[in-house]
Chain A
């Protein structure tokens, strides 16, 4: 228990989480602090490419045989988890089917920033994860979207009407920028291995945490502004955004252990299963299920689940993984 508490405190006192809190505070007091759009975008590109390369480099060190199975399991979980989330949203939060389907898709998919924050947290505590976790993350982005759309269709909601619209949707889903960067970076890292990485390490490794701080400062601003502008949500709906990550983490802990991942890997996979998308999936849902309320799904994933995971979830899942492995 004291281990869990000390992990939680260490996480809350990390520069990344403090920067996130600073951003949230600035938005709360309506400060005019603003990270220019182009810089935030540049930071996101940097983080995704760097984390992809790092994962690929770790993969080049070995462990490829297990990766294929782990990646398949990750994809299958992303496909299956929205069904559970949909049930909770329909029967406990009493959401309309179309809203429940859209929200469920977000919670089957993943948040790259949560992943990055967790992997830095774990690495700093001597619990590095397997490199192929990056590939598992990339694979988890999309299947949940398909499940969400199937759930909505089952409930009688037509998805996407025009052919141009459908093309646009699938382009957005399958080759969106984050997938290209993560997978591309992963392949590059895998190809160049440690010797190649040494050439870019000052930029992609040493600067990483500092730039992550800046990015999380922006995310704090964005998340809190979203929360401020949010519609009034029922307590059951809000509770879902905390309960679902805990269920997801439990599934991730069990699946990660069964896959034989390292302690860091189990914790990171639990974090992935606990996280919710707030970039790729909202854009896809807006196109595919326009009747679903975007303020609802963006508020839950970005305004509630993301801060919860960054501040409390990550150390909690790490402590559970450590306890499980002890």
Chain B
């Protein structure tokens, strides 16, 4: 993998990419482990998010919680974020998941 913090595509030194993954609760642990494997250094989880989309209504209160979603937010250098985005298509194919990136300005860029 290229040095994520370097290169012209990284932009100003305080620029990073925000990865947001809305996915089913069942796979949150697995997704987080995968992010760490890819070099993402931290994450935030927002549990119990609900909404609707291709999979119909999500977030219904079933007893097994298989229809429950969570939101995973992580900040990473752009190259890492792009690798995550590209890999997510195959990796999360059979699961409910929305993955997207955005550019963000961060305080303390050395944390990410």
B66 interface residue (CB < 8 Å to A): yes
Specify which chain A residues have a CB less than 8 angstroms from the CB of B61 in the assembled complex. 34, 37, 40, 221-222, 225
Residue from the set B33, B48, B62, B65 with the largest chain A CB neighbour count within 10 Å: B62
Rounded to whole angstroms, the CA-CA distance of A294 and B65 in the bound complex is: 11
Rounded to whole angstroms, the CA-CA distance of A136 and B24 in the bound complex is: 32
Task: Give per-residue flags for A190-221: 1 if the beta carbon is below 8 A from chain B beta carbons, else 0.
Answer: 00000000000000000000000000000101
User: With A222-B61, A226-B60 given, is the CB distance from A282 to B66 under 8 Å?
Assistant: yes
User: With A162-B30, A165-B30, A168-B29 given, is the CB distance from A282 to B64 under 8 Å?
Assistant: yes
Contact status B66-A229, CB under 8 Å:
no
Interface residues of B in 21-71 (CB under 8 A from A): 24, 26-27, 29-30, 33-34, 48, 56-57, 60-67
B95 interface residue (CB < 8 Å to A): yes
Specify which chain B residues have a CB less than 8 angstroms from the CB of A290 in the assembled complex. 94-95
Interface size for B (C-beta < 8 A) is 20
Contact status A294-B34, CB under 8 Å:
no
Specify which chain A residues have a CB less than 8 angstroms from the CB of B34 in the assembled complex. 162, 164
Rounded to whole angstroms, the CA-CA distance of A298 and B60 in the bound complex is: 12
A302 interface residue (CB < 8 Å to B): yes
User: With A283-B66, A286-B24, A290-B95 given, is the CB distance from A229 to B60 under 8 Å?
Assistant: yes
Specify which chain A residues have a CB less than 8 angstroms from the CB of B30 in the assembled complex. 162, 164-165, 168, 287
Residue from the set B33, B34, B60, B64 with the largest chain A CB neighbour count within 10 Å: B64
Contact status A286-B26, CB under 8 Å:
yes
Contact status A226-B24, CB under 8 Å:
no
Interface residues of A in 81-102 (CB under 8 A from B): none
**Closest CB-CB distance, A253 to chain B, in whole Å?**
27
Contact status B56-A229, CB under 8 Å:
yes
A107 interface residue (CB < 8 Å to B): no
User: With A165-B30, A290-B94 given, is the CB distance from A298 to B57 under 8 Å?
Assistant: no
Task: Give per-residue flags for B57-101: 1 if the beta carbon is below 8 A from chain A beta carbons, else 0.
Answer: 100111111110000000000000000000000000011000000
A291 interface residue (CB < 8 Å to B): yes
User: With A162-B30, A229-B57, A287-B27 given, is the CB distance from A298 to B64 under 8 Å?
Assistant: yes
Specify which chain B residues have a CB less than 8 angstroms from the CB of A259 in the assembled complex. none
Contact status B62-A226, CB under 8 Å:
yes
Rounded to whole angstroms, the CA-CA distance of A94 and B95 in the bound complex is: 24
Specify which chain A residues have a CB less than 8 angstroms from the CB of B33 in the assembled complex. 162, 164
User: With A283-B26, A290-B95 given, is the CB distance from A225 to B60 under 8 Å?
Assistant: yes
User: With A162-B34, A164-B30 given, is the CB distance from A286 to B66 under 8 Å?
Assistant: yes
Q: Which residues from chain A sit less than 8 Å from chain B, CB to CB?
A: 34, 37, 40, 162, 164-165, 168, 219, 221-222, 225-226, 229, 278-283, 286-287, 290-291, 294, 298, 302
Q: A37-B48, A164-B30, A278-B62 are in contact. List 14 more A-B contacts (CB 8 A).
A: A40-B61, A162-B30, A162-B33, A164-B33, A164-B34, A165-B30, A168-B30, A221-B61, A225-B60, A226-B62, A286-B27, A294-B67, A298-B62, A298-B66
